[in-house]
């Protein structure tokens, strides 16, 4: 029986689980792992980042676009704490991300060793599962368990800690280096809902006069887009989405209402929610933003709730029918039942209502998008970028100014994961790294990151990473010299008593050029579209710094700033 060191076993097992990319940052406790990556023939590409947060965000974006597990890694101590924001975001967004952190040696615990930290205690409340491995022989089972937990049931993030001496220990049998087929993608195991509940849901949908489907990220994660469309067309039922669910249905479809809720929703789309006599939530938590603090749909509206997580379906609304299971299996069963039922309604009436709501929403948008006033209106940025960007591009929007505008008005011609925003915790500094991760997953697609100038300050160091790996990412900075979302909240809810939300305007294009990134600065609205087109056409990393109307002065599609 041949034995291999723990670090070598870890590399082999990642390879066997189908991992192609790792995103991370080096540290002294990671040296055996890095040496194994250097020595062994494994076919994986390691992406060296400049910050552990960025590594986790890259793994998150990679996983969302590819449907495969995203892997990030970092060293002990500060590395473990820095990687947390991305791990938490992935876990709460039901994205399968494996975070590997190295650790001090098991033999050094309790001796005031540099970077000592209780990693299990740190990660336990923030992940689906965590384990710090005490013996190298535990590595194979721990890796298989990690992939199984990440990709089955509700997907999520897991953490593994690898002490320095465990990585060096020659104790892993080569016979134990195997992986379950399919466990590197998610969902790896699908659970169908109860057939009786499916029949009840079908009857409830058929009995409704004005049903509405509201999709969260679940159908995208499950790959249930065709099944959702079949169900909507069989019912003649409008489909709305949350921000995370954007792309569940092509927004050119006659039944596609667009984003609803406090962030990205509009009065026109809210009216459809309010007028519906039955709402079916699909892979959606029905949280405060989607429902505008549980006012839309109003209490008393009939509700069907479908989710893989049983704790979600009755958290906020009393469901008439609860469906627990995989979205693709559940929607397929529902669509087949509805299609075979007599009396399935035509789509004409519903599509007319949706068309009227969309026309009302975009009429108000176009009035601002065509403005030549300065500073540049955010609506104009959305319209000009949409005019020059490829239809199948992947756009990642940071929270703050980009999120409401792009979620509301960035029209998706194709269903699928073409739009991403970090909606679980809304941390700044996500878009640049997540879009880079999306590029490594789908290099044939144009990837665009839109961020506020506040977010730029969190993440600009990764421009060096983009240059080093020749990532042709187009970055757009919405420059308004403030933490705009908070300033807008101070205006609407605190009598415009602005405090500690403004900062100096940075020459973002000059910063980008110092890294070697091709960059433009635009203050004249008439010159914006040409600059955006040139940036998209550039064959390397590019950045456009857009001097934009402050969010607290704009007409953002936001009904409440504090939710």
- The per-residue pLDDT for 531 is 98
Distances (CA, A) of 480 to 456, 505, 549: 12, 7, 6
Indicate if 247 and 349 belong to the same structural domain.
Answer: yes
Question: For residue 400, which phi and psi values (nearest 5 degrees)?
Answer: 95, -145
Write out the residue range of the structural domain in which residue 41 sits: 3-176
Indicate if 346 and 376 belong to the same structural domain.
Answer: no
Half-sphere exposure of 483 (CA within 13 A, CB side): 13
DSSP letters of 100-121?
EEEE--GGGTTS--TT---HHH
Indicate if 143 and 203 belong to the same structural domain.
Answer: no
Indicate if 326 and 387 belong to the same structural domain.
Answer: no
Are the beta carbons of 122 and 87 closer than 8 angstroms? no
Indicate if 171 and 216 belong to the same structural domain.
Answer: no
Indicate if 128 and 256 belong to the same structural domain.
Answer: no
In this structure, the chain runs to a length of 563
Contacts 24+ apart (CB under 8 A), 42-45: 42/11, 42/12, 42/14, 42/15, 43/15, 44/11, 44/14, 44/15, 44/19, 44/20, 45/20, 45/21, 45/440
Are the beta carbons of 403 and 263 closer than 8 angstroms? yes
Are the beta carbons of 324 and 208 closer than 8 angstroms? no
**Which residues of the chain are under the pLDDT cut of 70?**
342-347
CA angle 309/307/439 to nearest 5° reads 90
422: its two tokens:
């970090």
Q: How many domains are there within the chain?
A: 3
The answer as to whether 362 is a domain residue is: no
Are the beta carbons of 172 and 3 closer than 8 angstroms? yes
Indicate if 269 and 202 belong to the same structural domain.
Answer: yes
Give the residue from 181, 151, 134, 176 showing the smallest Cα distance to 8.
176
Indicate if 82 and 218 belong to the same structural domain.
Answer: no
Burial class from Cβ neighbours inside 10 Å (0-12, 13-18, 19+) for residue 235 reads buried
The answer as to whether 222 is a domain residue is: yes
For β-strands 239-241 and 211-215, DSSP reports them as parallel
For β-strands 474-479 and 518-522, DSSP reports them as unpaired
The answer as to whether 102 is a domain residue is: yes
87: its two tokens:
């791990």
CA terminus-to-terminus distance, the chain: 59
The answer as to whether 560 is a domain residue is: no
Rounded CA separation 241/279 (Å): 12
Half-sphere exposure of 349 (CA within 13 A, CB side): 10
- The per-residue pLDDT for 563 is 75
Give the residue from 152, 181, 97, 182 showing the smallest Cα distance to 326.
152
Indicate if 271 and 305 belong to the same structural domain.
Answer: yes
Which CATH number characterizes residue 548's domain?
3.40.50.970
Rounded CA separation 91/69 (Å): 12
Which CATH number characterizes residue 253's domain?
3.40.50.1220
Rounded CA separation 116/82 (Å): 15
H helix intervals, 290-347 = 327-340
Pick the last residue of a domain from 176, 203, 220: 176
Pick the last residue of a domain from 292, 322, 353: 353
CA angle 482/498/404 to nearest 5° reads 50
Are the beta carbons of 323 and 306 closer than 8 angstroms? yes
Exposure class string for 414-427: b at 16+ Cβ within 10 A, else e: ebbbbbbbbbbebb
Indicate if 399 and 517 belong to the same structural domain.
Answer: yes
Indicate if 341 and 374 belong to the same structural domain.
Answer: no
- The per-residue pLDDT for 562 is 87
The answer as to whether 466 is a domain residue is: yes
The answer as to whether 253 is a domain residue is: yes
Pick the last residue of a domain from 124, 149, 176: 176
Indicate if 318 and 400 belong to the same structural domain.
Answer: no
The answer as to whether 389 is a domain residue is: yes
398: its two tokens:
């940071």
Question: For residue 392, which phi and psi values (nearest 5 degrees)?
Answer: -100, 20
Query: Model pTM?
Result: 0.97
The answer as to whether 184 is a domain residue is: no
Question: For residue 90, which phi and psi values (nearest 5 degrees)?
Answer: -65, -45
């Amino acid at each position: 029986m041949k034995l291999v060191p723990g670090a070598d076993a870890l590399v082999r097992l990642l390879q066997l689980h189908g991992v192609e990319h790792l995103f991370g940052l080096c540290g002294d406790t990671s040296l055996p792992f890095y040496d194994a990556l250097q020595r062994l023939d494994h076919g994986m590409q390691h992406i060296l980042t400049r910050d552990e947060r960025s590594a986790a965000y890259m793994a998150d974006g990679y996983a969302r676009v590819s449907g495969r597990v995203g892997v990030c890694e970092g060293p002990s101590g500060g590395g473990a704490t820095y990687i947390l924001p991305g791990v938490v975001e992935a876990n709460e967004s039901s994205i399968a991300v494996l975070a590997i952190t190295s650790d001090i040696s098991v033999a050094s615990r309790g001796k005031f060793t540099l970077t000592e930290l209780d990693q299990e205690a740190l990660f336990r409340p923030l992940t689906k599962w965590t384990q710090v491995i005490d013996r190298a022989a535990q590595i194979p089972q721990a890796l298989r368990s990690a992939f199984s937990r990440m990709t089955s049931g509700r997907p999520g993030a897991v953490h593994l800690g690898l002490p320095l001496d465990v990585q060096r220990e020659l104790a892993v049998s080569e016979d134990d280096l195997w992986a379950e087929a399919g466990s590197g993608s998610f969902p790896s195991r699908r659970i169908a809902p109860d057939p009786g509940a499916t029949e009840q849901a079908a009857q409830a949908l058929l009995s409704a006069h004005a049903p509405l489907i509201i999709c969260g990220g679940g159908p995208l994660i499950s790959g249930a887009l065709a099944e959702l469309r079949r169900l909507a067309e069989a019912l003649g039922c409008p489909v709305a989405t949350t921000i995370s669910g954007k792309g569940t249905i092509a927004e050119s479809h006659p039944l596609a209402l667009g984003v609803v809720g406090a962030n990205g929703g509009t009065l026109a789309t809210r009216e459809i929610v309010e007028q519906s006599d039955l709402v079916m939530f699909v892979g959606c938590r029905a949280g405060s933003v989607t429902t505008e603090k549980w006012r839309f749909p109003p209490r008393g509206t009939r509700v069907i709730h479908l989710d893989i997580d049983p704790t979600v379906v009755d958290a906020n609304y009393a469901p008439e029918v609860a469906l627990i299971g995989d979205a693709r299996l559940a929607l397929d069963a529902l669509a087949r039942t509805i299609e075979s039922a007599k009396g399935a309604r035509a789509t004409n009436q519903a599509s007319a209502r949706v068309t009227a709501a969309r026309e009302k929403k975009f009429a108000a948008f176009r009035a601002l998008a065509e403005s030549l006033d300065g500073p540049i209106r955010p609506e104009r940025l959305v319209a000009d970028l949409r005019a020059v960007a490829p239809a199948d591009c992947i756009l990642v929007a940071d929270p703050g100014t980009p999120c409401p505008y792009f979620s509301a008005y960035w029209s998706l011609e194709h269903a699928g994961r073409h739009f991403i925003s970090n909606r679980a915790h809304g941390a700044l500094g996500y878009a640049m790294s997540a879009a880079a991760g999306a590029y490594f997953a789908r290099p044939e697609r144009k990837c665009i990151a839109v961020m506020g100038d506040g977010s730029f300050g969190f993440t600009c160091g990764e421009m060096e990473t983009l240059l080093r790996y020749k990532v042709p990412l187009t970055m757009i900075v919405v420059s308004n010299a403030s933490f705009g979302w908070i300033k807008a909240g101070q205006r609407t809810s605190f009598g415009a008593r602005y405090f500690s939300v403004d900062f100096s305007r940075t020459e973002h294009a000059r910063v980008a050029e110092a890294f070697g990134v091709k960059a433009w600065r635009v203050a004249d609205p008439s010159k914006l579209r040409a600059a955006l087109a040139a940036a998209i056409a550039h064959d390397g990393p590019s950045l456009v710094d857009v001097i934009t109307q402050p969010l607290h002065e704009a007409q953002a599609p936001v009904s409440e700033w504090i939710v």
